[in-house]
């Protein structure tokens, strides 16, 4: 989570974001709980890219984005 503080986040449209983490760029879709890195889908816990995107949205809470399977 702390690593994602310096990542650059750009809203593409709606709930879709592009997160640049210096060496790689990932796309996050918050409503579908999907990140192109695949970590969010595998673990159910928002990855750093999703957390960085959530920081730009004041209405979404990180703990509410955990997928309890």
pLDDT at 55 over 90: no
Mean pLDDT of 1-27: 88
pLDDT at 1 over 70: no
60 falls in which pLDDT band (50, 70, 90)? low
Question: Is 0.75 topped by the overall pTM?
Answer: yes
Any bridge partners for residue 13, and if so which? Answer: 16
pLDDT for res 16: 95
59 falls in which pLDDT band (50, 70, 90)? low
- Which residue pairs from 58-64 have beta carbons closer than 8 angstroms and sit at least 24 positions apart in sequence? 60/30
Burial zone of 59 (CB within 10 Å; 0-12 exposed, 13-18 middle, 19+ buried): exposed
């Amino acid at each position: 989570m702390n690593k994602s503080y310096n990542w650059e986040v750009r809203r593409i449209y709606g709930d879709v974001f592009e997160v640049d983490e210096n060496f790689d760029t990932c796309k996050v879709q918050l409503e579908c709980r999907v990140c192109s890195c695949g970590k969010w889908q595998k673990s159910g816990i928002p990855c750093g890219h999703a957390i960085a995107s959530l920081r730009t949205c004041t209405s979404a809470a990180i703990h509410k984005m955990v997928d309890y399977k």
